[in-house]
Structure 1
Amino acid sequence: MRLVGARLSPGSDTFIAELTMKDGVEAARILTDLETFWASPAAALASYSSEGGTVVPLDQLQLVPPVLPGARVICIGLNYLDHVLEGSYADAGLPEYPTLFARWTSSLTVSGAPIPVPSNEDGIDWEGEIAAYIGVPLIDADADKARAAVMGYSAFNDVTSRRAQKLTSQWILGKNGDNSGPLGALVTADEVGDLRDGLRVQTRVNGEQVQDGNTKNMIYELGEVLSLVSHSFTLKPGDIICTGTPSGVGYSRKPAWLLQPGDVVEVEIERIGTISNPIVSNSLRSES
């Protein structure tokens, strides 16, 4: 099942809806409101009927991330060895524990939304990866329980302002630009399978492939990371963990290659889907 966040009009309540077709046109079947869904995703999906609910053409909806405003968005940095080796962290060696940083939900957006280049950046960088959604509370969970708690996945682009990221040892400033975190449709875990079995992760800029990785090559496995986090704080339904990017980012190239206004960046994840976003000038930031 492929789910999206949707509003009937800007500023109205957010619903969770299933992507479908109506009279040969892309549409969404309204499932329930955002808060009810994330109170118990399993119950919401169990009560779902593909024959019921209101079906609305996509062009009559505003698509938004299917994310609670108060959700935690936790990102894993440096989770593919080839990405570690291509950057400025290669000489430091692999830490015992993953590097984690946070995004605010206000930085998230959807496929198709414009991503502005901040005024103090030479450009912005791509990081294609997979976002995983928590479906049940996790407290002091082992890796098996944590892995089973993932109810779905999205394609994600952790678009990064490199100059801001490197001002200090803390990455949050460079990882929370306006509209800098596009998410694709939420694909339920039963359609995706186990990331340890391998999913291809690709990124393209203006049609040219710039990243081509596989989740088999993750350093820190998803279940293990979720277990680690759950021993520090409770993970709740709707929280998200973004699993890191493979090699091929722009800043490590010689010369560096960063996204500029007019570019289009795509992230394609096997069995999950593709997102595509145009890059725009900072002057359009208030409109994005």
Structure 2
Amino acid sequence: MRLIAYTENGRRHIGAVTDGKVAPVAPLDEFYADAAAALRTEPGPPALLLADLEQVPPVPETARVFCVGINYHSHAGESKTLAGLDVPRVPMVFGRWASTLVTGGTPVPVPPNEPGLDWEVELAAVIGTRAWNVSPQDASAHVLGYTAFNDLSARRKQLETAQFTVGKNADRSGPIGPVLVTADEISPAALRVRTRVNGEVMQDGNTRDLIHDVGKIISYISDTVTLLPGDVIATGTPGGIGAGRDPQVFLRPGDVVEVEVEGIGTVRNPIVDRSEIEAP
């Protein structure tokens, strides 16, 4: 099933998408209270037009976003050069706030003291059931589904210190979507992931190149932090980031960035000057 979230009468809902039409499934909070039960109930015939809906990120506003750094072999060399970081022995996890998540089409502003934003295509897993101290082998049972994620990064802030938090939480810097594909319909093991900037391919990788797979990441986090329904696990990006190029290339106002994950789809966002938006 391919799911989206949308607002109706001020409330967020989950719907199932088929051929540009959406069948309501449940209010978003009720859906994540028992996603398995919600998915067992067959949605009615599609009654809404996807193009008419105001989409929102398909996770609760209280979701935690766990991102994994240096998790593709093809990205390891770039990270060593940029930040002096070696290949992590265990998943290198940092956090994002759910308030940074946006959907495709949302304009993303460049912070005023950055040379631009950098792109990072990622496969993201969304947790469906509470996960505490699970093994890598059992972790997949807790995954609701998978989506595409663009971990847009303010590199100046990210690399000024050893802490990534500020540089990884710029306003509107977490495009996610375009759909959440349930885990019964897709495997994370060998998916092509790509980034295009103004139509030019900048990243072209495959999840076969992951250093730590989804199961290991979930297991590593869950013996310390209980993962809850709606939490997001962003699994890292392949080589080809803008900061790793010579000369470096960053997203500037007027650019359009697209990230694509095989079997899921493409998230496309325009980059704008901060003056073009009123609020985060």
Q: Would the TM-score normalized by the shorter structure come out above 0.5?
A: yes
Q: Is the 8 A contact 1:157 1:182 kept in 2?
A: yes
Structure 2 equivalent of residue 65 of structure 1: 57
Give the counterpart letter for 1:4 in structure 2. Answer: I
Measured after TM superposition, the shift of residue 139 of structure 1 is 1.0
Aligned pairs, number: 278
Other-structure match for 1:14: 12
Paired residues for 1:132-147 under 5 Å: 132-147=125-140
Q: Secondary structure at the match of 2:277?
A: helix
Per-residue CA deviation, residues 209-267 of structure 1 (Å, 9 max, x unaligned), is 00000101100111011111110011111111000000000011111000011111111
| CA distance 1:273–1:59, shift in 2 (3 Å) | closer
Alpha-carbon deviation of 1:90? Answer: 7.9
Runs (4+) off by over 6 Å: none
Equivalence for 1:86? 78
Residue of structure 2 equivalent to 1:280: 272
Residue identity opposite 2:150 in structure 1:
N
What residue identity is the alignment partner of 1:238? Answer: G
1:124 Cα deviation after fit: 0.4
The one of 118, 123, 137 aligned to 1:130: 123
The residue type equivalent to 1:180 in the other structure is S
Aligned equivalent of 2:156, options 155, 158, 163: 163
SS at match of 2:11: coil
For structure 1, the residue ranges without an aligned partner over 5 or more in a row are none
Q: Is the 8 A contact 2:24 2:44 kept in 1?
A: no
Aligned match of 1:223? 215
- Residue 262 of structure 2 aligns to which amino acid in structure 1? E
1:190 to 184, 189, 197: 184
Deviations 1:71-92 (A, max 9, x none): 1110000001111112326854
Cross-structure match for 1:4:
4
Per-residue Cα deviation, 1:191-216 (whole angstroms, up to 9, x for no partner): 212x22x1101110000000000101
2:234 corresponds in structure 1 to 242
Query: Aligned pair 1:205/2:194, yes or no?
Result: no
Q: Which moved more, 1:87-96 or 1:166-175?
A: 87-96
Kept in 1: contact 2:144–2:182 (CA 8 A): yes
Verify the 8 A CA contact 1:178 1:285 in the aligned structure 2: no
Cα deviation digits, residues 6-28 of structure 1 (max 9, x gap): 0125xx0100011134xxxx332
Q: Which moved more, 1:54-63 or 1:37-46?
A: 54-63
Alpha-carbon RMSD: 1.5
Identify the residue that residue 173 of structure 1 maps to in structure 2.
166
| Distance in 2 separating the partners of 1:90 and 1:116 | 25
Distance between the aligned counterparts of 2:250 and 2:82, measured in 1? 19
Q: Which residue identity is paired with 2:5?
A: G
Change (3 A) 1:263 1:92: closer
Secondary structure of the corresponding residue to residue 133 of structure 1: strand
Return 5+ residue gaps in structure 2 as ranges.
Answer: none
The alignment's TM-score, normalised by the length of structure 1, stands at: 0.93
For the Cα contact (< 8 Å) 1:84–1:90, is it kept in 2? no
8 Å CA contact 2:82–2:244 kept in 1: the answer is no
CA contact (8 A) 2:121 2:149 kept: yes
Paired residues for 1:24-35 under 5 Å: 26-35=20-29
Percentage identity across aligned positions? 46
Partner residue, 2:43 = 49
In structure 2, distance between residues paired with 1:20 and 1:82 = 35
TM-score for both structures, normalised by structure 2: 0.95
Change (3 A) 1:155 1:92: closer
1:232 partnered with 2:224: yes
